[in-house]
Copies of this chain bind each other. A is one copy, B any other.
Amino acid sequence: MQIVRSVSAMQRLGRAWQRAGASVGFVPTMGCLHAGHLSLVRRARQLVARGGKVVVSVYVNPTQFAPTEDFSRYPRDLARDAQLCREAGVDVIFAPHDSQMYPRGKGADFSTFVAEESLSRGMEGKSRPTHFRGVTTVVAKLFNIVQPELAVFGAKDYQQAALIKRMVRDLNFPLKIVVVPIFREADGLALSSRNQYLAGDLRAQALVLWRALQKAQAAVHKTARPLPAARLKSELKRLIECAPAARLDYVEFFDPATLAPVPKVTRGTHMALAVFIGQTRLIDNARL
């Protein structure tokens, strides 16, 4: 396995693979890999044809963090990530430096952005106003650098995956997006690199996200009648804030295809939520 640090070297490699007819599967990550990421890597490995290549990018992208967020303390451990990728049969880790990704120069600072302006408005886009512009921009860059045939994203970032699919359709990126289900611990907690922040009993309190999803699922499946979204939201807020360190950021019910909020919740409605557990902001989602 090779670790590539230069944009131009990665781009040459991608181009050479393409010329050689090797299909390339790509898994973009911010590193600090966990079993959720490894399930994306396995899927990429399965999907590329024999002789295909799997690239994992490890890059904590500054432009998707707001100044108040956890960019500087976001966990980084490239040696461990490399070991996990080697074991998982990854061909290349692409781990560029910021100076490679966001060039600066006299009158020539980085100045081009990709923005999705519809699906990005609610939920994460509302709570983190500059986040998705950073995500779509860096993912567009990574697609152009790696030039994969398919890219694999996790369903935990449901809205992000929807945006990336929209970006690929709208800007005609010549690749396919594959979304892999959420990987959960045995007790239901969705895997996240940010779970590392959960010291002491915060780990146990973080289970309120999963409990809220289960409660909504049970409520929807108990009746054939649509449930008012507003009432369900208040009930879930109460449930969540029973955990002393938990503060609800949002809970939303929406059409899984358009992400448009729905006033009535039924089977097939999608639910997503963001909750602060102490200082740590966690997200989760499920189809009801």
Residues of A participating in the B interface, judged by any CB pair closer than 8 Å? 7, 11, 14-15, 18-19, 21, 103, 106-119, 136-137, 140-141, 144-145, 147, 166-167, 169-174, 255, 257-260
Contact = CB atoms under 8 A, between A and B. Distances in A.
A171 B116 contact: no
A111 B168 CA distance: 11
Contact of A107 (B115, B141, B258): B258
B112 A114 contact: yes
Contacts of A109: 118
Contact of A167 (B21, B112, B170): B112
A64 B116 CA distance: 17
Contacts of A167: 112
A165 to B, nearest CB: 10
Given A18-B19, A107-B257, A144 B113 contact: no
B260 A107 contact: yes
B7 A112 contact: no
Nearest to A107: B258
A119 B170 CA distance: 24
A15 to B, nearest CB: 6
A112 B136 contact: yes
**Most-contacted residue by chain B among A117, A259, A260 (CB, 10 A):** A117
Contacts of A140: 114, 171
